[in-house]
Amino acid sequence: MNNKNDKIIVSLKCIRHAYTGGGSVSTGGLPFTITRGQRVAVLGPNGSGKSTLLRHILGLLKPTEGTVEVLGVNPASQYMKIRSRIGAVMQNTDEQLIGPTVLDDVAFAPLNFGRSASETYRKAIDILKRLNIYELKDRLPHYLSGGERRKVALAGALILEPDLLVMDEPLEGIDHASRREISNFLQKLHAETEVTMISTTHDMDIVSDLADCGYVMNQSGGLEIYGTIEELFFNHDLHSFNLAPPATVRIIKILQRHGLAIAPTLNAEVLSNRLLELLHSEIR
Amino acid sequence: MDLNYIDYISISGRSWLHRSPAGFKILFLSAAVIILLSATSWRLPAIVTAAMIAIAVSARLPLKLVLTLSLYPVIFIVIFLFSVSGLTLSILATVSLRIISLTLAVVIFFLSTSFPAVFAVLGRILPDFLVTALFFTYRSIFLLSDGFADIYTALHLRGGTDFRRPVFTLSRLGMALGHFLAHIIAASQRMAENLKLRGFHNHIYYLGKRYE
Q: How far is B36 from chain A (nearest CA, A)?
A: 32
pLDDT interval class at B52 (50, 70, 90): very high
pLDDT interval class at B211 (50, 70, 90): low
Residue A130 is predicted with a pLDDT of: 93
From CA A82, how far away is CA A71, in angstroms rounded? 7
C-beta of residue A97 within 8 angstroms of C-beta of residue A107: no
Closest chain A CA to residue B186: A95
Over range A190-202, report the average pLDDT: 93
Residue A154 is predicted with a pLDDT of: 94
Residue A5 is predicted with a pLDDT of: 44
Ramachandran region, residue A72 (left: φ > 0; alpha: ψ -120 to 50; beta: rest): left
From CA A168, how far away is CA B64, in angstroms rounded? 46
Question: Between helices B22-38 and B89-112, what is the axis angle to 10°?
Answer: 170
Residue B210 is predicted with a pLDDT of: 59
The B residues from 136 to 165 touching A (CB cutoff 8 Å) are 139, 142-143, 146
For the cut 50, the answer to whether the pLDDT of residue A2 exceeds it is no
Residue B59 is predicted with a pLDDT of: 93
C-beta of residue A216 within 8 angstroms of C-beta of residue A43: yes
At A77-132, the pLDDT tens digits run 998 899 899 999 998 888 899 888 899 999 999 999 999 999 999 999 999 999 99
At B71-83, the pLDDT tens digits run 888 888 888 777 7
Domain boundaries, chain B: 3-113, 126-210
Return the higher-pLDDT residue of A180 and A120. A120
Tell me the whole-structure pTM to 2 decimals: 0.81
Q: Which residues pair with A29 in a beta bridge?
A: A223
B135 touches chain A (CB under 8 A): yes
At A39-72, the pLDDT tens digits run 999 999 888 889 989 999 999 998 888 899 999 9
3-state secondary structure of A277: helix
Q: How far is B150 from chain A (nearest CA, A)?
A: 14
Residue B164 is predicted with a pLDDT of: 86
From CA B26, how far away is CA A48, in angstroms rounded? 53
- Are B190 and A90 in contact (CB < 8 Å)? yes
pLDDT interval class at A20 (50, 70, 90): low
Percent of chain A with pLDDT over 70: 94
Q: Are strands A86-89 and A24-27 parallel, antiparallel or unpaired?
A: unpaired
Percent of chain A with pLDDT over 90: 54
In this structure, of A217-226, B55-64, B83-92, the range with the lowest mean pLDDT score is: B83-92
Sign of CA dihedral A275, A270, A262, A224: negative
A-chain CB neighbours of B8 within 8 Å are: 143
Residue spans of beta strands (DSSP E) within chain A? 8-18, 24-27, 32-35, 39-43, 65-70, 86-89, 164-168, 196-200, 213-217, 223-228
B-chain CB neighbours of A84 within 8 Å are: 199
B206 φ/ψ angles, rounded to the nearest 5 degrees: -130, 110
Closest to A174 measured CA to CA, from A133, A235, A126: A133
A-chain CB neighbours of B206 within 8 Å are: 99-101, 104
- Are A104 and B206 in contact (CB < 8 Å)? yes
C-beta of residue B15 within 8 angstroms of C-beta of residue B112: yes
**Which H helix or E strand runs over B105?**
helix B89-112
In this structure, of A48-62, A83-97, A193-207, B138-152, the range with the lowest mean pLDDT score is: B138-152
Residue A23 is predicted with a pLDDT of: 64
For the cut 50, the answer to whether the pLDDT of residue A1 exceeds it is no
3-state secondary structure of B14: coil
- Are A60 and B207 in contact (CB < 8 Å)? no
Distances (CA, A) of B2 to A50, B55, B133, B156: 39, 22, 22, 20
Q: How many other CB atoms are found less than 10 A from the CB of residue A121?
A: 21
Over range B125-146, report the average pLDDT: 85
From CA A282, how far away is CA A132, in angstroms rounded? 46
pLDDT interval class at A180 (50, 70, 90): confident
Q: Are strands A86-89 and A164-168 parallel, antiparallel or unpaired?
A: parallel
From CA A210, how far away is CA A201, in angstroms rounded? 9
Q: What is the DSSP letter of A246?
A: P
Distances (CA, A) of B28 to B42, B95, B108, B114: 21, 21, 11, 16
pLDDT interval class at A36 (50, 70, 90): very high
Per the prediction, chain A carries an average pLDDT of 89
Residues of A engaging B, defined by a Cβ cutoff of 8 Å: 55, 58, 60, 79, 83-84, 86, 88, 90, 92, 94-96, 98-101, 103-104, 107-109, 111-113, 117-118, 120-122, 124, 140-143, 156
pLDDT interval class at A32 (50, 70, 90): very high
Q: Which residues pair with A25 in a beta bridge?
A: A17
C-beta of residue A186 within 8 angstroms of C-beta of residue A206: no
Residue A11 is predicted with a pLDDT of: 94
A-chain CB neighbours of B203 within 8 Å are: 112
Residue B115 is predicted with a pLDDT of: 84
Return the higher-pLDDT residue of B201 and A162. A162
A-chain CB neighbours of B196 within 8 Å are: 60, 79
CB-nearest to A96 from B114, B116, B194 is B194
C-beta of residue B41 within 8 angstroms of C-beta of residue B90: yes
Over range A140-150, report the average pLDDT: 89
For the cut 80, the answer to whether the pLDDT of residue A4 exceeds it is no
For the cut 60, the answer to whether the pLDDT of residue B17 exceeds it is yes
Return the higher-pLDDT residue of A103 and B115. A103
C-beta of residue A194 within 8 angstroms of C-beta of residue A26: no
ipTM for the predicted complex comes to 0.77
Return the higher-pLDDT residue of B201 and A254. A254
Longest CA span, chain A: 69
Return the higher-pLDDT residue of A172 and A152. A152
C-beta of residue B133 within 8 angstroms of C-beta of residue B140: no
C-beta of residue A235 within 8 angstroms of C-beta of residue A68: no
From CA B182, how far away is CA A25, in angstroms rounded? 21
pLDDT interval class at A284 (50, 70, 90): confident
Q: How many other CB atoms are found less than 10 A from the CB of residue B163?
A: 7
Q: From the candidates A101, A136, A143, which should be mutated to test the interface with B, based on the most B CB atoms within 10 A? A: A101
From CA A264, how far away is CA A267, in angstroms rounded? 9
From CA B97, how far away is CA B53, in angstroms rounded? 13
C-beta of residue A238 within 8 angstroms of C-beta of residue A244: yes
